[in-house]
Structure 1
Amino acid sequence: MTASPLPSSRSGRPWRRPVPASLATATLAGVLAATSLTGCSSSDDSASDGGPVTLQFWTYSVKGGDPAAKAIVDKYHQEHPNVTIKLSEVGGTAETASKLLAADRADDTPDVVQLEYRALPSLVVAGAVKDITKDVASVKNKIDPNIWDVTTLNNQIYGVPQDIGPMMFTYRKDLFAKYGVKVPTTWAEYASAAEQIHKKDPDAYIASFSATQFEFFAAHAAQAGAQWWSNDGKRWTVGIDSEASLKTADFWQDLVDRGLVKVEPLLTPEWNAQVNDGKILSWAAGSWAPSVLYSVAPDTAGKWASAPLPQWKAGDAAVPFQGGSTYLVPAKSKHAKEAAAFAAWLGASDEGSKLLLGLDLYPSGNAGRAATLTHEPPKLMPQQKDFYKVAERVIKNTTIRVVWGPNVNVAQSAFTDALNKAALNKTSFREVYRATQKTVINDLKKSGYTVTQ
């Protein structure tokens, strides 16, 4: 897949490209709870001509040591003894993005930053991210094109993909069987399954409805044929209120109004209890969902399974990715060459991508993906030996590209708050989508972008 062309930024710089974190994105931070790590460098081009180099690496906060993460650092150290990796835990994507922009303005940036894909665009627009196309040329064939696409903007690469979230349907296999409910292959079958489950047990629901799942709703709309943002190289088009997008609003409105899904935010104590009690029976999300479910309901392990995401049109298996993150190099990194080499090794090399599998994530690199096929299934479903084979088939069909605009945070705030109120009050979801459309367009115009609608 190729990236859509992008416009110029307000400053006149080329649009260098923009933009979720999966709820369970694993990171290297678990590796090294507080220390600087010595990464390695041999005589390849990741070594500095001037001698030893220390790379400042910002990643998400994961408390405690992690042997798998330490193994990654140790391996890099063996191969690149002149490079020291100094880890900083800086919080989630929103906090990291804000800190990176502040560091960019102060001319004091780190060298490598882990960030969710959807946050990349606004940083590219701001000129805070380096184009690393040439730096990663030697590993370009180590990651499939549809995965590189999530960090490629206007044919320029702005990050090395770390992990991916092929969208799947994770469900309580035992309870679906108990209630005689067929695993849905289409969204129409999903609605029918929701009705059957709630009829069998009025306290049970096929899923929760959480308005905070902004990335899911965007991906769901994309699967139906909508694009919430798109760009022709000169102007932005916003399609949050397109008819294809509103079709998905109607779908969820119907389930909420009929009381067939539980209006409950994800990962609250109440949600966790309902998952443990077998009252929430599925989750349509990225392939990282089993890890999240296991973290809150380990006693239910062995009762779950995962299948491909339901389709809007039977036979059309195309889906977007949901979640995942990238390693980017800030534009003002003092050691950009070494930083890009480390990012490329970590996310794309055979060694790095295989080791990332040990962090309980789905590696982007081909070697890591291949290794999943002989890897033990997620702890949530130890009996499903074909989990990664199913996921691999999904990845092959992950051909829908979700474009994230430069004001995704504005959209998320406007959308989630209003949708939650609409779900609780059973008012119009369509009006939420239309209001968000207006908010996003007005914000783009206010920021100086050309918008078609």
Structure 2
Amino acid sequence: MLTAALAVALAASLAACSSGDSASPGTASANGPVTLEFWTWSLKGSDPAAKAIVDKYHQQHPNVTVKLSEVGGTADTASKLLAADQAGDTPDVVQIEYRGVPALVVAGAVKDISADVAGVKSGIAPNIWALTTFNNQVYGVPQDIGPMVLTYREDLFDKYGVEVPATWADYAKAAEQIHKKDPDAYIASFSAAQLEFFAAQAAQAGAQWWSNDGNAWKVGIDSEPSLKTADFWQDLVQRDLVKVEPLLTPEWNAQVNDGKILSWAAGAWAPSVIQSVAPDTAGKWEAAPLPQWTAGDPAVPFLGGSAYLVPAKSKQAKEAAAFAAWLGASDEGSKLLLDLDIFPGGNAGRQATLTAEPPKLMPQQKDFYQVTEQVIKNTTIPVTWGPNVNVAQSAFGDALNKAALDKTSFRAVYQATQQAVVADLQKSGYTVTK
């Protein structure tokens, strides 16, 4: 663990960084040949696009060899990294989702790379750097971002006479229309395990599940704005207007293929996920801005995305930070990330999307990236993740799924999660205020 003073400092809210620096991030491998072990799931060694990216870096830095090691999602990777940190044998670069960064920072498992990325600060917008910044210290280079959109079956919305919902009230009405026209069809599934989605919903409605006030944490999972979003989803579940089904199960995949699940409110990465499980539906989907809780207020948080972190015990930390800076924040690197079918966080990659072909799922929607660029500009709601997101996930997902199946109180789940998170923070030595 970090010292108590540093832990308090790291508890501060996400802070945006300035973007005026223009110096070079430095040349890697100044001390001779090095091999960087890179734990990632976006850059798969079997993917020609990933190999081309690594080869490009090798050409420019012949003394640096990047070795790709495919790992699971954030939970698996974070636990493996903590174990490796304790053993003193860590990789050099690690891909972690934004929600998993605070716990690793507080545990002292990742390095402050502020000085290492100073030369590429202007390559990423401040609201995106904020995702990896704590108390003005940068702990990761953003890879991709999740501007929130509604990905929907445009053909079936037309068939059922459903307007694309501008507000969540419109969304509920659209859910009624769809289910009335086809009792086997639903506007969406209800996946209780998606903690980030429900946290984003609460943030969009005016709540913050974690926030920091001076030297203490505040937890707002059971705040009234948050509970109102719980009421909204409980109403849809109880009226059988959304399908209680986890994402990406064989059942969910089949229903998406059969046109029985008609939309997914998620990040702009959703089209590539749907394409992977329902490629035959390509050309039938479109994307629109996320529905609003308050009509006329387009402000949203980001949902999902990940960053490149340098473990504190990396034996090649300088070279690792240089590679991460090149890949995520340089003009060349962030443009190359587009080839991986992800939404790059770097300015150059974002700009390149505006002239890129739309996702394979929706080749006919030529303005897809114009829509998402406007959403990014409206992404003005910061989301602070606390150091015990794993506790919230454990308390929340299964309990909410049970409540959905048993038709018991969603509010009670949110309140119980609040209690569990607060108790854990206090047990860990943090001050928690109301």
Q: Secondary structure in 2 aligned to 1:128?
A: coil
- Superposed displacement of residue 167, structure 1: 0.3
Give the structure 1 partner of residue 179 of structure 2.
198
Q: Secondary structure in 2 aligned to 1:430?
A: helix
Give the structure 2 partner of residue 92 of structure 1.
73
Cα distance in 2, alignment partners of residues 328 and 351 from structure 1: 19
User: Which of 402, 421, 431 is the matching residue for 2:412?
Assistant: 431
Match runs of 1:23-422 below 5 Å: 45-60=26-41, 65-422=46-403
- Superposed displacement of residue 88, structure 1: 1.8
Cα distance in 2, alignment partners of residues 441 and 285 from structure 1: 28
Cα distance in 2, alignment partners of residues 11 and 143 from structure 1: 31
Q: 1:316 to 1:353 in 2, by over 3 A?
A: same
Is the 1:121–1:406 contact (alpha carbons within 8 Å) kept by the matching residues of 2?
yes
* Structural RMSD (CA): 1.7
- Superposed displacement of residue 15, structure 1: 4.5
Give ranges in structure 2 of 5+ residues lacking alignment: 13-23
Return the letter of the residue paired with 1:250. D
Is the 2:11–2:217 contact (alpha carbons within 8 Å) kept by the matching residues of 1?
no
Give the structure 2 partner of residue 13 of structure 1.
6
1:45-86, Cα deviation, whole Å (9 max, x unpaired): 333342112212111287662111111111111111111112
Q: 1:119 to 1:152 in 2, by over 3 A?
A: same
1:206-233, Cα deviation, whole Å (9 max, x unpaired): 1011101111000010000000000123
Q: Secondary structure in 1 aligned to 2:68?
A: strand
Return the letter of the residue paired with 1:428. S
Give ranges in structure 1 of 5+ residues lacking alignment: 1-7, 20-42
1:30-49, Cα deviation, whole Å (9 max, x unpaired): xxxxxxxxxxxxx9833334
1:290-324, Cα deviation, whole Å (9 max, x unpaired): 11111111111111100000001111111111111
Judge which range, 392-401 or 332-341, deviates more. Answer: 332-341
Judge which range, 326-335 or 432-441, deviates more. Answer: 326-335
Q: Secondary structure in 1 aligned to 2:152?
A: strand
Is the 1:15–1:125 contact (alpha carbons within 8 Å) kept by the matching residues of 2?
no
Q: 1:13 to 1:217 in 2, by over 3 A?
A: same
TM-score when normalising by structure 2: 0.94
- Superposed displacement of residue 102, structure 1: 1.4
Cα distance in 2, alignment partners of residues 12 and 245 from structure 1: 31
Is the 1:170–1:307 contact (alpha carbons within 8 Å) kept by the matching residues of 2?
yes
Q: 1:113 to 1:450 in 2, by over 3 A?
A: same
Judge which range, 308-317 or 105-114, deviates more. Answer: 105-114
Return the letter of the residue paired with 1:327. Y
- Superposed displacement of residue 143, structure 1: 0.5
- Superposed displacement of residue 90, structure 1: 2.8
Q: Secondary structure in 1 aligned to 2:303?
A: coil
Q: 1:75 to 1:236 in 2, by over 3 A?
A: same
Q: 1:85 to 1:202 in 2, by over 3 A?
A: same
Q: 1:114 to 1:53 in 2, by over 3 A?
A: same
1:357-415, Cα deviation, whole Å (9 max, x unpaired): 00010001111111111111111111001001100000001111111111101101110
Q: 1:316 to 1:352 in 2, by over 3 A?
A: same
Q: Secondary structure in 2 aligned to 1:166?
A: strand
- Superposed displacement of residue 89, structure 1: 2.1
Identity %: 79
- Superposed displacement of residue 282, structure 1: 0.4
Judge which range, 329-338 or 115-124, deviates more. Answer: 329-338
Return the letter of the residue paired with 1:166. P
Is the 1:112–1:343 contact (alpha carbons within 8 Å) kept by the matching residues of 2?
yes
- Superposed displacement of residue 419, structure 1: 0.3
- Runs of 4 or more above 3 Å deviation: 8-19, 61-64
Give the structure 1 partner of residue 21 of structure 2.
none
- Superposed displacement of residue 147, structure 1: 0.5
Q: Secondary structure in 2 aligned to 1:218?
A: helix
Return the letter of the residue paired with 2:144. D
1:124-175, Cα deviation, whole Å (9 max, x unpaired): 0011111111111111010011100100111111000000010000101011
Total equivalences in the alignment? 423
Return the letter of the residue paired with 2:38. F
